[in-house]
């Protein structure tokens, strides 16, 4: 599980629009891809841009997962809801492909975070995935974990 490089970046808040599903760690492997399958056709109503997979933890096992994208000038097309990514510090990790997403999250939350003296998890903010505008599951993407000093 080495091979992942993590850097900390400061990000501005982003206003996005999307759809969400309430899921659990056990059901996420089915629920999250199904949500993207429903969201991708709707992305064409929005700007052609990056996709965001955002996880807001509810408790140890359950979370709201959003498939989202930036809307043109604050518009919210019908069938989508607004969601905000808060500004702050995030640990950023490049994952080589979708198959490695679990490994990437495990590395960030277990190996990297526990080895940190300077940073700890910011439980008030969501973690998220950032997918390039033109992306396939075999391509790299980024994971972002909210951190604070």
* pLDDT tens column, 104-138: 999 999 999 999 889 999 999 999 999 998 899 99
d(CA 64, CA 81): 13
| Model confidence, pTM | 0.93
Q: Which residue has the tokens 């891809």?
A: 33
Which domains can be identified in the chain, with CATH numbers?
A: 6-148 (3.20.80.10)
d(CA 7, CA 29): 27
34-83, pLDDT tens digit by residue? Answer: 999 999 888 877 776 899 999 999 999 999 999 999 887 778 888 899 99
């Amino acid at each position: 599980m080495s091979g992942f490089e993590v850097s900390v970046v400061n990000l501005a808040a982003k206003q996005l629009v999307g759809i969400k599903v309430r899921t659990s760690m056990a059901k996420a492997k089915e629920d999250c891809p199904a949500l993207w399958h429903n969201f991708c056709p709707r992305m064409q109503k929005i700007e052609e841009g990056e996709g965001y997979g955002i996880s807001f933890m509810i408790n140890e096992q359950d979370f709201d997962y959003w498939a989202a994208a930036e809307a043109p000038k604050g518009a919210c097309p019908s069938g989508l809801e607004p969601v905000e990514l808060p500004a702050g510090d995030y640990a950023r990790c490049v994952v080589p492909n979708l198959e490695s997403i679990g490994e990437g999250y495990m590395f960030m939350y277990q190996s990297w975070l526990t080895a940190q003296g300077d940073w700890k998890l910011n439980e008030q903010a969501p973690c998220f995935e950032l997918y390039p505008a033109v992306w396939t599951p075999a391509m790299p993407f980024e994971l972002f974990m909210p951190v604070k000093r």
